[in-house]
Amino acid sequence: VPPTISQHEMDHLLMADSGVVETLLQRIEKADDGVDSLNVAASLGVDHQVIVGAVKSLQALGDIISADLRSSKHWELTVEGSEIAEQGSHEARVFSSIPLEGLAQSELMKLSFGKIGFSKAMSNKWIRVDKTQEGGPRIFRAVENIEDQVREKLLQVQKGNFSQLDEKEKNELKKRKLLSEVTVKSYWITKGSSFSTTITKQETELTPEMIATGSWKEKKFKPYNFEAMGVAPDCGHLHPLMKVRTQFRQIFLEMGFTEMPTNNFIESSFWNFDSLFQPQQHPARDQHDTFFLSDPALAHEFPQDYLERVKKVHSEGGFGSQGYKYDWKIEEAQKNILRTHTTAVSARMLYKLAQQKFTPVKYFSIDRVFRNETLDATHLAEFHQIEGVVADYGLTLGDLMGILHQFFTKLGITKLRFKPAYNPYTEPSMEVFSYHEGLKKWVEVGNSGVFRPEMLLPMGLPEDVSVIAWGLSLERPTMIKYGINNIRELVGHKVNLQMVYDGPICRLDS
């Protein structure tokens, strides 16, 4: 059986038996079509393992030799067989222990080989028994000389000359438990592409000294194990959600959108709801859906003219609208909340825009929003909203769908369709669906719409300016991108840092 031999053992063998290695190389050089490791061992009179060790160490040096593992049937002497090879067969020993005057059968049987040797010698007709003798039967030689074929055959086997024996003979010896058949693995060794009869010690690594002296040119280098993993670099990592955020920012910037300042988590109900024409009894303004603040509880500063116009459009209508016809209260508008959408910032930006001479704008933001909602595997009390807004003269629903198509194409999503939906501050409102190839169905990927005139006109924007907008969450595409099912593994302190360490770069369109 070929050994699995450790590097250490191999080095040891190589050192101890460099003579063997050299002899082996010389043998290979002389042989036309290669040598068998077993034969080499037999002819050198060394253990086969020594040759195997030499083969292994030569292999480690590169392409000096090529060694193919093969297995062959092989006959070996048993312990009894070895004894016979040394001392003769039992029957031969019986023959030679009988003197000319014969030997009492009882004496013969006392010998260790007596019993078996007697019957074999009898059947070979080498001896005869005279039962008429005094003192019991007596054994005499029947021939003058014998030829101990069993021993001869075993000696042949011992020398490795199995072919001298035919199958019948081998099987007979096997039956007598003098031979046993074993499978032996050996190497068929031939010259490698860089065969040489002299070997040099292999170097593990290139050193500055070798480079300086040029000695590397003469050295042989130990080959690398390219199956092993490398050493992980000592580095920091960006958070996957932030990597995706960077890509979305990039997409908006590529499309000419300017980033809105969304660094104000606390917002008044006025900017978060009222300015968006969201009525004061709307369920989103419930304690169940929105985080209200106890400190600072109220906002205290509003653009007064604008506030009056907002109040009027809610309670009485105007700007072509019937309004909601209810008693609009400043107290409700003053209530501070954690913003429920970044659209509160869009409202501030559009109001600011309306105070200047109008020029078309494209705005975007990606930032946190807060909902006092029931939490589950995909919903948290805070998440990131991605929002895009375009304001220009005469924008159409076709423009909104066109720009959404461009935006989603950059995310690698090209199959879009739009479903009518309801949203208090956009009309029309459209849910954006994309065809998910994996799930084989249409899934919602965002929301969009045209801001209502009741929102825009009180701000002071020109009547023929339309504002189109869309939004989506950052978490959902990130969870899909990185195959995360539980949002808590992605966002918050329960994050799995290993996931952060192992995260790939983010290319949304591939």
Partner 1 sequence: MPTVGIKRDLLFKALGRTYTDEEFDELCFEFGLELDEITSEKEIVSREQGDTKASDASDVILYKIDVPANRYDLLCLEGLVRGLQVFKNKLEAPRYRRISPVNGDPQKLIITKETAAVRPFAVAAVLRNITFTQERYDSFIELQEKLHQNICRKRSLVAIGTHDLDTISGPFTYTAKPPGDISFKPLNQTKEYTATELMSLYKTDSHLRHYLHIIEDKPVYPIIYDSNGIVLSMPPIINGDHSKITLQTKNVFIECTATDLTKAKIVLDMMVTMFSEYCSQPFTKEKLSGEFINRKVGINESTEKIAQLLTRMCLLSRATGVGDEIEVEIPPTRSDVIHACDIMEDAAIAYGFNNITRTTPRAYTVANQFPLNKLTELLRQDLAAAGFTEALNFALCSEEDIADKLGKKISETRAAHISNPKTAEFQVARTTLLPGLLKTIAANRKMPLPLKLFEVSDVVLKDETKDVGARNSRRFCAVYYNKSPGFEVIHGLLDRTMQLLEVKSARGEGYHIQAADDSTFFPGRCAEIIVRGKTVGRLGVLHPDVINRFELTMPCSAMEIDIEPFL
Positions 242 through 281 that interact with partner 1 (CB under 8 A): 242, 246, 249, 252-268, 281
370 binds partner 1 (CB under 8 A): yes
421 binds partner 1 (CB under 8 A): yes
Count of C-beta atoms within a 10 Å radius of residue 301: 7
353 binds partner 1 (CB under 8 A): no
- Compute the distance between CA of residue 321 and CA of residue 38 in angstroms, rounded to an integer: 102
Among 100, 229, 439, 497, binds partner 1 (CB under 8 A): 497
- Using a 10 angstrom Cβ sphere, with 0-12 exposed, 13-18 middle and 19 or more buried, the burial of residue 257 is buried
Among 392, 410, 435, 480, binds partner 1 (CB under 8 A): 392
Q: Are 339 and 370 in contact (CB under 8 A)?
A: yes
Q: Which of residues 95-114 bind partner 1 (CB under 8 A)?
A: none
Partners of 186 in the β-ladder: 70
Query: Residue 35 or residue 450: which is nearer to partner 1 going by CB?
Result: 450
Query: Residue 216 or residue 358: which is nearer to partner 1 going by CB?
Result: 358
461 binds partner 1 (CB under 8 A): no
Among 494, 502, 507, 509, binds partner 1 (CB under 8 A): 494
Cα R_g (the chain), whole angstroms: 48
- Compute the distance between CA of residue 435 and CA of residue 415 in angstroms, rounded to an integer: 6
Q: From 59-67, 72-80, 183-191, 451-459, give the range in contact with partner 1 by CB under 8 A.
A: 451-459
498 binds partner 1 (CB under 8 A): yes
Q: From 8-16, 64-72, 87-95, 392-400, give the range in contact with partner 1 by CB under 8 A.
A: 392-400
- Residue the block writes with tokens 């770069």: 505
219 binds partner 1 (CB under 8 A): no
Query: Residue 118 or residue 328: which is nearer to partner 1 going by CB?
Result: 328
Q: Which of residues 428-447 bind partner 1 (CB under 8 A)?
A: 428-430, 442
69 binds partner 1 (CB under 8 A): no
Q: Are 466 and 427 in contact (CB under 8 A)?
A: no
320 binds partner 1 (CB under 8 A): yes
CB of 305 to partner 1, least distance (A): 15
- Using a 10 angstrom Cβ sphere, with 0-12 exposed, 13-18 middle and 19 or more buried, the burial of residue 432 is buried
- Compute the distance between CA of residue 269 and CA of residue 336 in angstroms, rounded to an integer: 6
Helices of type H across 394-448: 397-410
Count of C-beta atoms within a 10 Å radius of residue 87: 12
Q: From 67-75, 89-97, 200-208, 230-238, give the range in contact with partner 1 by CB under 8 A.
A: 230-238
Count of C-beta atoms within a 10 Å radius of residue 313: 25
Amino acid occupying residue 148: D
What 8-state DSSP symbol labels residue 321?
B
237 binds partner 1 (CB under 8 A): yes
Among 66, 382, 460, 480, binds partner 1 (CB under 8 A): 382
Among 15, 223, 326, 379, binds partner 1 (CB under 8 A): 326
Query: Residue 84 or residue 506: which is nearer to partner 1 going by CB?
Result: 506
Partners of 393 in the β-ladder: 465
Sequence-distant (6+) residues with CB within 8 A of 317 are 323, 325
Query: Residue 146 or residue 456: which is nearer to partner 1 going by CB?
Result: 456
